[in-house]
Structure 1
Amino acid sequence: MEIKNAGGDAPTIATDARSIGAELVPGWDQPFTAQELDAIEAAVETAVSKKRRSVSGAGNDGEDRPGGVRRRLPGSFSSQHSMRVKLPMMTFGGRIAYSRSATDVERAAAELLKKINAMKSVMDQVIIGFDIEYRPTFQKGVQPRKTAVMQICGDNDHCHVMHVIYSGVPPSLKLILEDTSVLKVGAGIAGDARKVLKDYNVSVNAFQDLSELANQKLAMPRYRWGLASLTEVLLNKQLNKFMKIRCGNWEALFLSKEQQLYAATDAFASWHLYQVLKSLPDAQRNDIENNEEKLTVALP
């Protein structure tokens, strides 16, 4: 059974009664209970820990692997992934503007658009962190649910969390998403853009995938970076990816404070990580690729 991630990272595999068929399990499409999510979270953490050990290889960091080339990863990379629970949590500390009705989302987007236009006069390009959330599906072959939340952050102080499952995409928000002079940044953002187009017939123009930018900037083997792994490696912090929130009901009548903070922090992390990555010089990619094995696993 595939649990489709609400935030864009790689999907996680788990198994329970829902995998045997909707007709045999009444209520299969309802949100998991707290007990079920606790069990899933424990199973996922165990699986991720095994993946990290397999990625780092046998022995100490930098040791030769049988039949493979010598790989040397930064010490901080290995320590962060083996001692993840000891990293401080990354949390957005500014003001979260949550809106859900068509009127409120339009008003919030209009205020954001006004701010963006003012920023255009003093900077070459406006950058905003962008992410989406949607209620996950719990059965293979079932189409993903409609995008429920869009979150946008353009500085340290303000983040907009828009409950678009109830408001739709009003005119001002559409202008922001389609504006080619406003760069939207996020991990796996191309997939988010395709989903928004499919769900609302609105194009998300001018975007930068943080995973691609990281592979351009970091002197490491290529990875399919997720937001959480970039946060750990570049900021020495961890993102809240608890299943209770990540796989929660993003179509709830009102988002909880925890959901709002989760969504805002992802958008803020995207914006902040872009600033960090852009400040770095490009890595000497040819040298890395000639001397390092390309890894195809996806970090969380």
Structure 2
Amino acid sequence: MSTENRFTDKISNEATALLPAVEFRGEIRVIECERDIAAACKYLGAQPVIGFDTETRPSFRPGVMFRVSLLQLSSPEVCYLFRLNRIPLAKPILQLLEDASTLKIGADVAGDLRSLRKIRHFRDGGFVDLQTIAPQWGIEEKSLRKLSAIVLGKRVSKAQRLSNWEAATLTDKQRLYAATDAWVCTRIYDRLLHTPKIKRP
């Protein structure tokens, strides 16, 4: 554990933009066939901590909302991208989302879970929301981009956020963006755990 907490409470967009980018360097596996779901979930379920995120096709019309297109779950070495517009939110995935023994780290977890429950209902277990715990270290920012900037000193690119997540094939840039978003949550969590919390008076 580092001996002191040097995290700032806030960071500007300008300061964030000047930081070096952080990218997932592991293997990215796209799951778009139902037969591949069980093996992916077996691997992920054996991990103590995984990163969690979702992506949804953007809507540029008021009142039009799409279902979740992609579920990202990542270990330090492998990130699985479950294409929920192609495959069902199957039982092995639900069991993983409900399993309290596998910690799942995300940002705005409640929003992602709400979107997933529009497909199938489940009782979530083992989730940690970086937005909820960051104030214990004196951090007031909420976005994943700024949490990464403050905690890791690295910038998460948001260039692909509004791309089409229901495209026939995900581009290399989309895959890397999606994998990084999930994986970096575990990096932020690990750094927080190794840094003293703010002592409240």
TM-score normalised by L of structure 2: 0.88
- More contact order relative to length (CA 8 Å, sep ≥ 6): 2
Partners of 1:276 and 1:181 in 2: CA distance:
21
Alpha-carbon displacement from aligned partner over 1:113-172 (angstroms, at most 9, x marks no partner): 3x33xxxxxxxxx22110000101122223x211110111122x1111111211112222
Partners of 1:201 and 1:76 in 2: CA distance:
36
2:194 match: 279
Offset at 1:262? 0.5
The residue matched to 1:96 in structure 2 has which SS? strand
From 146, 160, 163, the equivalent of 2:80 is 160
Change (3 A) 1:75 1:179: closer
Q: How does 1:257-272 map to 2 (within 5 A)?
A: 257-272=172-187
Offset at 1:98? 1.2
Partners of 1:132 and 1:177 in 2: CA distance:
13
1:141 match: 63
Offset at 1:84? 3.2
Letter in structure 2 aligned against 1:96: I
1:102 match: 34
Offset at 1:76? 9.9
Contact 1:193 1:203 in 2 (8 A): no
Offset at 1:74? 6.5
Contact 2:9 2:141 in 1 (8 A): no
Change (3 A) 1:207 1:74: closer
Contact 1:216 1:282 in 2 (8 A): yes
Partners of 2:124 and 2:174 in 1: CA distance:
23
Alpha-carbon displacement from aligned partner over 1:52-78 (angstroms, at most 9, x marks no partner): xxxxxxxxxxxxxxxxxxxxx977965
Partners of 2:13 and 2:167 in 1: CA distance:
33
Offset at 1:280? 2.1
* Identity across the alignment (%): 31
The residue matched to 2:54 in structure 1 has which SS? strand
Q: How does 1:1-300 map to 2 (within 5 A)?
A: 81-113=13-45, 115-116=46-47, 126-142=48-64, 144-155=65-76, 157-218=77-138, 220=139, 223-242=140-159, 245-285=160-200, 287=201
1:65 match: none
Offset at 1:257? 1.2
Q: Which runs of 5+ in 1 are unaligned?
A: 1-72, 117-125, 288-300
The residue matched to 1:161 in structure 2 has which SS? strand
Q: Which runs of 5+ in 2 are unaligned?
A: 1-5
Contact 2:141 2:147 in 1 (8 A): no
Contact 1:165 1:251 in 2 (8 A): yes
Partners of 1:108 and 1:270 in 2: CA distance:
19
Letter in structure 2 aligned against 1:265: T
The residue matched to 1:202 in structure 2 has which SS? coil
Aligned residues: 196
Offset at 1:265? 0.2
Alpha-carbon displacement from aligned partner over 1:239-265 (angstroms, at most 9, x marks no partner): 1101xx211111112211111111100
Could you list the runs of 4 or more consecutive aligned residues of structure 1 that deviate by over 4 angstroms after TM superposition? Answer: 73-78
Partners of 1:75 and 1:170 in 2: CA distance:
41
Q: Which has the larger radius of gyration?
A: 1
Offset at 1:81? 4.1
Moved more, 259-268 or 85-94: 85-94
2:3 match: none
Partners of 2:88 and 2:111 in 1: CA distance:
19
